[in-house]
Amino acid sequence: MLPDEEKSQLNTKLKLEGTIDKRVFDDFKEIMEVEMEKARAEDRVEPNVSNILEMLLRKGIKAYRAHRK
C-alpha cells in the first residue's frame, strides 16, 4: 500500500511524451546547463530534467495567457 503522499503525487504528476524540433531541444539543454550551474554556485540541489521542463512549461503558459489578454 502506498503512503498518502505518494498517492497524492500519482494524481498530480503526469508523464508526457512527444517530439520537438532539434533547435528547441538544444535550447532546452542550454537552459538546463545554466540552471544546473546556477544551483551549484548557490550550493543548492541540482534540478532534474522534469523540474526544468515544468519551469519552462509554466513560464510558457503564463506568457501565452498574458499574450491572449
Q: Could you report the per-residue pLDDT of 9-59, keeping only the tens digit for each?
A: 567 788 889 999 999 999 999 999 999 999 999 999 999 999 999 999 999
* Whether the model pTM is above 0.85: no
Pairwise CA distance, residues 15 & 8, whole Å: 15
* The pLDDT value given to residue 36: 96
pLDDT band at 7 (very low <50, low <70, confident <90, very high): low
pLDDT the model gives residue 13: 81
53 close to 28: Cβ distance less than 8 angstroms? yes
